[in-house]
Amino acid sequence: MPSLSAAIAASASGLNAERTRIEVAVSNLANSESTRSGSGGPYRRRDVVLSSDGVTPFEGTLQEAGATGVRVAAVLEDQTPFKRRYEPSHPDADKDGFVALPNVEPAEEMVDMLSAARAYQANLTAINLVRDMLQRALELSR
Amino acid sequence: MADIRDSAIIDALRRQMSIAAAKQVVAAGNLANVNTPGYHARAVDFTAALERQMGGTLSLAGTAGGHLEGTVSEAVSTEEIDGLQPRRDGNNVQIDRELLTMSGAAGDFARAQTALAARFRMVRYALSEGR
């Protein structure tokens, strides 16, 4: 029998992944006007890549059905072209007066954040349900 | 009533709790992967679970009069759920479906726990000679 702690571990990995997605979406939004970044040029939008991952608790090797957790496989830069805006007075404008701006779409980030927040809530609900079950199992001894 | 033994009832309730816990674990794994591209939702293999509920194939052999007989709980197997419409990223986890499975399993667990606790209370009552 898979242990309930494996369920909590899987849900915790889900919380972690969704939190990372929210963090990345927030930093994309915050940098939607940053024309300079560490790698030179404007900020590039970042994307989280998730991959499913078997959670193996202590007794995991003895079982067929463990819980499937999730992990952040990579945070990649979005390679779509930068947006361009005509603003000759801007210090980073090119010789034609155009400024390259980050390839961040605020609407896209908001949708990402909403879906991550929903998934985060679902994982929290799952943890609460499992916790209630553990509690009830403890009550057997009363 | 002679062939309904206490241990058989307790064993059945214990199995029910195990299956509820397994459902919970698998649904939690599905929920964790609700945003993983290409992930397919899994469920506890119902036939295998039913077989075990009905007594299973593995049982402890009682080779002497004083031996306790019972079934060995095997590992729970899972299978991919058919007939769920995948999203564009190939993922077919539905949050509401998984949460429903989890609430259902929690209910099953609570029901078995209540019955088991009542059994245990009776045993304790007998042990304390009705005091």
In tens, the pLDDT along A44-85 reads 999 999 998 865 554 444 444 567 889 899 999 999 999 999
Give me the average pLDDT of each 10-residue run along chain B (131 residues). Answer: 70 87 90 90 77 59 61 64 85 91 93 91 86 77
Q: Using a CB–CB cutoff of 8 Å, tell me whether B35 touches chain A.
A: yes
pLDDT of residue B102: 93
Q: Give the closest of A21, A65, A122 to B31, CB-based.
A: A122
Query: Both tokens of residue B70?
Result: 């019972």
Q: Do B25 and A3 touch (CB under 8 A)?
A: yes
pLDDT of residue A125: 94
In tens, the pLDDT along A4-35 reads 888 898 899 999 999 999 999 999 999 998 88
Q: What part of B 92-111 touches A (C-beta under 8 Å)?
A: 95, 98-99, 102-103, 105-106, 109-110
